[in-house]
Structure 1
Amino acid sequence: MAELKHGDITKKILGAAFEVHKFLGNGFQEVIYQRALAYELDRAGLAFAREIWQDIYYKDLHKPIGRRRADFVVEGVVLVELKAVKEIEAAHWAQVL
């Protein structure tokens, strides 16, 4: 696996997400997975905030051009976007890139 930015945090997040998926499986609404992941992140000792509004800036503009809501911001450095879908589509990738 390629080296991950903030790898120690990211590995804990992935472990928490896999634990949620292993226990719950498929078929629930996103909010169910969100609550379960919050529980697992807390158990992993990670600080996080949920459903955080973030301003979006472009180049040298001093005012934001829009806003987005992040499902989780973990340890202030890793954005986590949950999707409760069968397959990740291009629109989902665009939401976080």
Structure 2
Amino acid sequence: MHPLYEQANRLSRHVIGAAIEVHRLKGPGLIESIYEKCLMRELELRQLRFLSQRLVKIEYKGVVFEEPLRFDVLVEGCLLLELKSVQEIQPMHQAQLLSYMKLLDIPVGLLINFHQIKLTDGIRRLILPGANQ
């Protein structure tokens, strides 16, 4: 089991609650950057630590380089959020989140689509392969 899995699993409920609060107050139809700023404020009010974008060391066949990774929000160092405001979640959105989770070694990710009328219909939870075993 991934050492951060249990923490991320517990934290995901709190973050989903924060996202629901943002959606309740702002509704669907806004651009992603507005939801991101509102969600970061909500996380701050709930005293959760978070960051966005980070330099990541990438190794490829013996070469190591740093690359800025433009993920949306990393909460408490263990839960990665990818925020969308789109008509429909596409497989590439999930693939992007899973790729970021692998690069950062983050066990749990939430793909949150604020475009939905009922936010819970727009939430997908991804688990890094093997993280919960």
- Do both share a fold (TM > 0.5)? yes
The counterpart of 1:35, out of the listed 4, 14, 37, is: 37
C-alpha distance after superposition, 1:34-77 (max 9, x if no partner) = 0100011111110001233434446x755259653111110011
Q: Please identify which structure carries the higher strand content.
A: 2
Which one has more relative contact order, counting CA pairs under 8 Å at least 6 apart? 2
Identity, % of aligned positions: 37
Normalising by structure 2, we get a TM-score of: 0.60
Provide the aligned C-alpha RMSD in A.
2.4
Number of aligned positions between the proteins: 94
Structure 2 portions without partners, runs of 5+: 1-5, 99-133
C-alpha distance after superposition, 1:8-33 (max 9, x if no partner) = 21111110011111111111111100
- List structure 1 runs of 4+ shifted beyond 6 angstroms: none
Q: In the aligned structure 1, how far is the partner of 2:19 from the partner of 2:10?
A: 15
1:15 lines up with 2:17 in the alignment: yes
Q: In the aligned structure 2, how far is the partner of 1:62 from the partner of 1:7?
A: 34
Normalising by structure 1, we get a TM-score of: 0.79
Q: In the aligned structure 2, how far is the partner of 1:79 from the partner of 1:61?
A: 27
Deviates more, 1:25-34 or 1:64-73: 64-73
Please list, as runs of the form range in 1=range in 2, the aligned pairs for 1:76-87 lying within 5 A after superposition.
Answer: 76-87=77-88
